[in-house]
Chains A and B, each alone.
Chain A
């Protein structure tokens, strides 16, 4: 019964989405306020129906209703409650429903906002409804989560144990919030193209949505990579796998969009480029979905494959992307021309950022799709490995980070490079010193290590110098703190995010260069030396969890005669389906992670084990966390605060003159 209600709610949502599409555009064309006002109601209705439908599915999972095919195929009565709930979105049908839920949630949030002019809001909601309509059709026609199973199964098939993990329970929702959040920027862009007008206000409306999407996307990618790090047991955290690239490309595009939207807002320039970026960013989200769901890519992540779904998504992709680009080609030239700025200016620096990030996106895209084209043209399969992507990353991130150090110092409209140089000289000296010292110390004196550390130090010192200059720390130190306090939150947000990037760079470089690794075949009682640490193998014990049994090994890690940590790596055997998973034993020290994996037992009571010391690898997740904090800080900036009363500011004309202190 509940499943039928869910199904019915989904069909109602489809009806409301249809109505939303038609009514909004009719209303806007007729310029009839009463009709346009209806759109708001339709958006709420879509959200409520999607919510009801999703709740129905989640309920079926929680009570383990195995007469629903989707639940029987992906759940199990003995699964812990958390994974019953996360199982709702841990499969193809459920995750598409979740996708729709978030689409409608964002639609309803836009509808709820009071700051948008009605006509524009109607257009945005009309486009959003169209996207919702497409996904609802996809679910109802090819992947209905409420399909019944007759007769009902007695027991479910179980969820892939690799996915039964707290990190992965929340990785998909965050990622989807990010992917789908970009749909709002897309809808705003299409609406602006239809209306044929882009104002700085437009950028101010779009930016918070992009920031929300970006923050979630950052979190989702970081969680996924953290999961791979501790669950897959290879000590790796990024494999340039198509599924990873599929999330990384929208992130890069969203990052570029965040920066270019600033230029639109502050300087009324780069308008058509920003619109294009918003379209591209969402298109990449869709493309990622297509690549993963259709099974055209060889990916270790892939879901069950169904060609029919692939064709539907491809059709939808062609419609959305093709339609958006056609509209863009038709309308973009009619947009009012952009503001002027000098070759050396904040605008130019942000353009450089955009050029490099877009090029990077293109490089990742080429690397991801190249095997497809190669197979289509030659018939043989190839894979594009990490060296290609790493090469591209180094090539494009190096100039990006160098420019990043100086960009915040440049003035809008017309900056002076000499002044920026003057201010950043200390940073350059520090960076150079770090570079030379790394090469000279020759511990692992690769040029790349030196380059990575040099760039990261450059960024950290440059951020400090920019803050010092903005607060006049060196001129009037006594008032610096008060000035710091008065800086706009967006400035803090920017510096937090950039600092996060530096920390990530430190994490990558240090862990790549100085990881100690040992593969051993040892019995309890023996010990192994890994870097400065002694890993003492104490014991292996059997144990049982709620829906698995397994063995748990105990390692004591000793340094200079002092016990510093106990690691408990596990090897679990899940029932239903019978599958092994490894759980690495990890203990994070400030200097790095102690990491142990237990393999198989062999002759003489010995076990194969893999032991690591990974210095400063936590920097990766710490840095991602800082980026997210940056995003949230920026979001809380007064200018962007959602639903903030317009107050006395008669906003529109004033924005043309940006306040100097703000970013």
Chain B
């Protein structure tokens, strides 16, 4: 046996220890990171209200808000860059404000996912707005919880 070469057993042992160490450090840090800001809840207006009532939603806590853009709620402010609209799940609604350029597929009555936080006076300040990509597809989080009560033409608008 040459110097510096270990036996097969110890070689395997070293590799195994290295792999396990790397994996466990990664998993530990992943769990640590998953607890923080990187994890955002995906809520619809009704569940936002529920969480607020229970005191589970802190002010300025980031989360994703999904639902339909309520028909007739869309306005553009004087500065030309800020938009306000309501997101509804046909059971309750939340006022949303967004500064920026809205995505191409953004429409009243359509599904939308926004990311941001609620202010103290219950306005959701969205940092990003995602509209669905494809007319055949509604993101699961935007299908209203109370779909029967919906008067919004969620699909009518585009079906040819």
Q: A303-B137, A343-B6 are in contact. List 9 more A-B contacts (CB 8 A).
A: A300-B132, A358-B19, A383-B64, A384-B38, A384-B39, A388-B33, A520-B81, A577-B158, A582-B101
With A352-B18, A392-B30, A519-B99 known to touch, is A300 a contact of B130 (CB < 8 Å)? yes
* 28 cross-chain CB contacts under 8 A: A162-B104, A233-B101, A233-B104, A298-B42, A302-B137, A302-B139, A340-B5, A341-B11, A342-B5, A355-B18, A355-B23, A362-B23, A362-B26, A363-B26, A380-B43, A381-B141, A382-B39, A383-B42, A383-B64, A385-B37, A388-B34, A391-B38, A392-B26, A413-B5, A414-B2, A519-B81, A579-B104, A579-B105
Q: Within the assembled complex, what's the spacing in Å between the Cα atoms of A299 and B42? A: 13
> Is B4 within 8 A of A351, CB to CB?
no
Q: Which of B11, B64, B104, B158 has the most CB of A within 10 A?
A: B104
B76 at the interface (CB under 8 A from A): yes
Q: Within the assembled complex, what's the spacing in Å between the Cα atoms of A338 and B18? A: 18
Q: Within the assembled complex, what's the spacing in Å between the Cα atoms of A420 and B11? A: 22
* Minimum C-beta distance from B87 to chain A (A): 15
With A381-B42, A392-B33, A608-B81 known to touch, is A581 a contact of B104 (CB < 8 Å)? yes
By a CB distance below 8 angstroms, the chain B residues around A300 are 130, 132-133, 139
By a CB distance below 8 angstroms, the chain A residues around B134 are 160, 162, 302-304
Cβ-neighbour of A380 out of B37, B47, B160 (below 8 A):
B47
B22 at the interface (CB under 8 A from A): yes
Q: Within the assembled complex, what's the spacing in Å between the Cα atoms of A381 and B158? A: 27
A30 at the interface (CB under 8 A from B): no
Q: Within the assembled complex, what's the spacing in Å between the Cα atoms of A13 and B35? A: 50
* Minimum C-beta distance from A120 to chain B (A): 27
Cβ-neighbour of B14 out of A343, A371, A571 (below 8 A):
A343
By a CB distance below 8 angstroms, the chain A residues around B22 are 355-356, 359
B55 at the interface (CB under 8 A from A): no
With A301-B133, A380-B47 known to touch, is A355 a contact of B101 (CB < 8 Å)? no
B153 at the interface (CB under 8 A from A): no
Interface string of A191-227 (1 = CB under 8 A from B): 0000000000000000000000000000000000000
Cβ-neighbour of A351 out of B15, B23, B78, B80 (below 8 A):
B15
By a CB distance below 8 angstroms, the chain B residues around A579 are 104-105, 135
> Is B100 within 8 A of A519, CB to CB?
yes
Cβ-neighbour of A366 out of B30, B43, B76 (below 8 A):
B30
> Is A395 within 8 A of B81, CB to CB?
no
> Is A387 within 8 A of B2, CB to CB?
no
* Minimum C-beta distance from B31 to chain A (A): 9
Cβ-neighbour of A381 out of B30, B33, B41, B101 (below 8 A):
B41
By a CB distance below 8 angstroms, the chain A residues around B130 are 300
A386 at the interface (CB under 8 A from B): yes
By a CB distance below 8 angstroms, the chain A residues around B42 are 298, 371, 380-383
What 7 pairs across the A-B complex have the smallest Cβ distances?
Answer: A521-B80, A388-B38, A381-B42, A387-B38, A599-B101, A602-B80, A580-B104
A610 at the interface (CB under 8 A from B): yes
* Minimum C-beta distance from A563 to chain B (A): 26
Q: Which of B18, B136, B160 has the most CB of A within 10 A?
A: B136
Q: Within the assembled complex, what's the spacing in Å between the Cα atoms of A362 and B158? A: 40
Q: Within the assembled complex, what's the spacing in Å between the Cα atoms of A305 and B133? A: 13
> Is A383 within 8 A of B18, CB to CB?
no
Q: Which of A383, A519, A571 has the most CB of B within 10 A?
A: A383
> Is B105 within 8 A of A580, CB to CB?
yes
A576 at the interface (CB under 8 A from B): yes
> Is A608 within 8 A of B23, CB to CB?
no
Q: Which residue of B lies closest to A520 (CB)?
A: B81
Q: Within the assembled complex, what's the spacing in Å between the Cα atoms of A232 and B43? A: 25
By a CB distance below 8 angstroms, the chain A residues around B34 are 367, 370, 384, 388
* Minimum C-beta distance from A308 to chain B (A): 16
Q: Within the assembled complex, what's the spacing in Å between the Cα atoms of A334 and B58? A: 57
A377 at the interface (CB under 8 A from B): no
Q: Within the assembled complex, what's the spacing in Å between the Cα atoms of A663 and B92? A: 64
B40 at the interface (CB under 8 A from A): yes
By a CB distance below 8 angstroms, the chain B residues around A1 are none
Task: Give A280-310 interface residues, CB cut-off 8 Å to B.
Answer: 295, 298, 300-305
B72 at the interface (CB under 8 A from A): no
Task: Give A137-188 interface residues, CB cut-off 8 Å to B.
Answer: 157, 160, 162
> Is B41 within 8 A of A380, CB to CB?
yes
Interface string of B97-130 (1 = CB under 8 A from A): 0011111110000000100000000000000001
With A359-B23, A385-B37, A608-B81 known to touch, is A576 a contact of B101 (CB < 8 Å)? no
> Is A298 within 8 A of B33, CB to CB?
no
Interface string of B133-160 (1 = CB under 8 A from A): 1111101110000000000000000101
By a CB distance below 8 angstroms, the chain A residues around B101 are 233, 519, 582, 597, 599-600, 608-610
* Minimum C-beta distance from A579 to chain B (A): 7
Q: Within the assembled complex, what's the spacing in Å between the Cα atoms of A363 and B8? A: 30
* Minimum C-beta distance from B129 to chain A (A): 10
A337 at the interface (CB under 8 A from B): yes
Q: Which of B37, B76, B133 has the most CB of A within 10 A?
A: B133
By a CB distance below 8 angstroms, the chain A residues around B33 are 387-388, 391-392
> Is B6 within 8 A of A386, CB to CB?
no
By a CB distance below 8 angstroms, the chain A residues around B59 are none
Q: Which residue of A lies closest to B2 (CB)?
A: A414
* Minimum C-beta distance from B157 to chain A (A): 9
With A298-B140, A355-B18, A602-B76 known to touch, is A160 a contact of B135 (CB < 8 Å)? yes
By a CB distance below 8 angstroms, the chain B residues around A232 are 103
Cβ-neighbour of B160 out of A343, A387, A519, A576 (below 8 A):
A576
By a CB distance below 8 angstroms, the chain B residues around A370 are 34
